[in-house]
Amino acid sequence: MNPLRRAVAGALLALCTLPLHAADKTYGTHGMALFGGQDGLYASHLPMFHAPHDYQVILQIHIADKATDAALRKRLDGKTELWTINPEKFELSSIAPEAEKPRKDFRADLVQGHFERGGSTQYKGAKVVIDKVIMFRQLESRAQHAKLARYFQLGSGKQRFLVKEINTRPDFDHIVAYNAAPDAPTGPVQVRKWGMQQTGNDALAMALKANMAAIGGTIYFETGDLK
């Protein structure tokens, strides 16, 4: 193929990969941390302070294929091993609750480990169904500071997860497994923030008024993407 034909073919291929409508600034590959177990599956967008990733988004999900969904729940089941979602490209704004026609699902590879850092794909091209948008908020790009870190609880039974609100710049993304006592409160808790230092299990247990053994440990902790 001569250079001109090769250039034209490349241009046509690039056009074919574009969305069918004019995409907004949230269009991209939106990797997510994947965690949960028998009581529920969750996906937390891996945020940054620049477009298209400047949103903190938490979803409750399930996998459309029942066998895959059951197998995944069994493999995760409250464990602290990191799994991630490597999805098809789409506009993150399309899953916002206020979107004109909110997206209800997307295709993705489900990866044991971090999909950009040597993780291993375990389920390829799975259909991820969005059951509930728990959080969808744009991050503030300017530098700001806070003395407290706020953690939201996901789940209401024994198996729960704590997800830190991204509320400063720089900041850290933190997801923690938590085994709650019967009838334990489900609301958010606040702890003292020490810069970019990971919140300790003891501080979280104290804020939750729980035994320190109830804190299962960190599933995801990241500072580099939130400078």
Q: Per the domain annotation, does 8 fall within a domain?
A: no
CA distances from 195 to 112, 162, 171, 199, 223 (A): 29, 19, 8, 10, 11
The reported pLDDT for the residue numbered 6 is 57
33 forms beta bridges with 44, 84
- Show the domain range for 146: 140-227
pLDDT for residue 78: 85
Residue 12 lies in a domain: no
Q: What is the pLDDT of residue 2?
A: 61
Domain count, the chain: 2
Q: Among 110, 138, 166, give the residue marking a domain's end.
A: 138
Do 210 and 146 reside in the same domain of the chain? yes
Q: In this structure, are 37 and 119 located in the same domain? A: yes
Please tell me the pTM assigned to this model: 0.89
Q: Are 61 and 33 in contact (CB under 8 A)?
A: no
Residues 150 and 84 in one domain: no
| Contact yes or no for 216/159 (Cβ under 8 A) | no
Low-confidence ranges of the chain (pLDDT < 70): 1-22
Question: Based on the domain organization, do 132 and 158 belong to the same domain?
Answer: no
Last residue of a domain, one of 87, 111, 138: 138
Residue 6 within any structural domain of the chain = no
**118 shares a domain with 35:** yes
pLDDT at 16: 52
**Whole-angstrom distance, CA of residue 194 vs CA of residue 186:** 24
Q: Indicate the residue among 83, 107, 138 that finishes a domain.
A: 138
